């Protein structure tokens, strides 16, 4: 299972990698901090899971996902946010045809993410 994390908080990237690498079946873990990096890294290999922060500078996480909807067909999406309206964003993405498998409020509880990924 390949995972692509989209979060502008680059100081969190090492944390995500540390947490995710312990999940069975994880292959490649790729990080992107903006739309350009996401586009470039998305094309490297099939991404089974996208972990996406909602609030990003310039372009929001959901808008970045929508721009690459065809490439994300078959990928499961996990939404992260420190905002209270996280469910509204996730619901809209689901209505747009994305497979939302998890919604997490930041700060992330590592075991919750691992449990969800283990179920994949």
- 34 contact partners, CB below 8 Å, separation of at least 6: 8, 56, 57, 58, 59
**Whether the predicted pLDDT of 84 surpasses 90:** no
- The CATH number for 36's domain is 3.40.50.2300
Percent of the chain with pLDDT over 90: 87
pLDDT (mean) for 88-106? 95
The count of domains in the chain is 1
- Residue 119 pLDDT level (bands cut at 50, 70, 90): confident
Task: Tell me the two tokens of residue 114.
Answer: 């691992």
Indicate whether this model's pTM tops 0.85.
yes
Domain region containing 97: 3-119
d(CA 74, CA 83): 27
């Amino acid at each position: 299972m390949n995972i692509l994390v989209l979060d502008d908080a680059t100081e969190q990237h090492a944390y995500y990698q540390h947490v995710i690498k312990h999940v069975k079946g994880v292959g490649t873990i790729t990080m992107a901090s903006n739309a350009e990096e996401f586009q470039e890294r998305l094309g490297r290999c099939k991404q089974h899971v996208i972990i996406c922060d909602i609030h990003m500078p310039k372009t929001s996480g959901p808008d970045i996902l929508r721009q690459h909807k065809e490439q994300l067909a078959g990928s499961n999406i996990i939404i992260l946010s420190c905002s209270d309206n996280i469910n509204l964003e996730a619901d809209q993405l689901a209505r747009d045809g994305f497979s939302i498998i998890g919604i997490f409020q930041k700060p992330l509880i590592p075991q919750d993410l691992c449990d969800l990924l283990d179920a994949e």
